[in-house]
Amino acid sequence: MDLSNIVFDNYRGSFTGSAVQIVSEPEIKTRRVDGIVFRNFDVKSSNPLRFIGNPSYEIGKVLLENFNAEIEKPGDPFIVKGCDSLIFKNVRLNGKQYPDSQVSEKDN
């Protein structure tokens, strides 16, 4: 199964878990997750945003654009592991404006 070229747009809300997450457990037989866009979000989240691939493959390109999130749990507002390309365009997390950039798990 491939999951690609999916856009989530214009969402506002509060979450008791993670507001946005792509997590692929090793037993899930997904060949590819790529081209996922989260655009125009204004969310509150109890836990960090999570982008976690598995040893069989990495998550491809994920874009956060015009994205604002308040994360209640102390520490890093996002977790990146096994994700090839997490791209920020106009992203604010916990009131901090992040520069437009590409984030890898080495940066987190």
Measure the CA–CA gap between 68 and 3, rounded to whole angstroms.
24
Question: What's the rounded Cα separation, in Å, for the pair 18 and 45?
Answer: 5
Between CA 80 and CA 94 the distance in angstroms is: 17
* pLDDT over 90 (residue 39): yes
Instruction: Report the predicted TM-score, pTM, of the whole model to 2 decimal places.
Output: 0.89
pLDDT of residue 55: 74
Separation between Cα atoms, residue 12 and residue 8, nearest integer Å: 11
Q: Where are the domains of the chain?
A: 2-107
* Total number of residues shown for the chain: 108
Residues 89-94: what's their mean pLDDT?
97
Radius of gyration of the chain (CA): 13
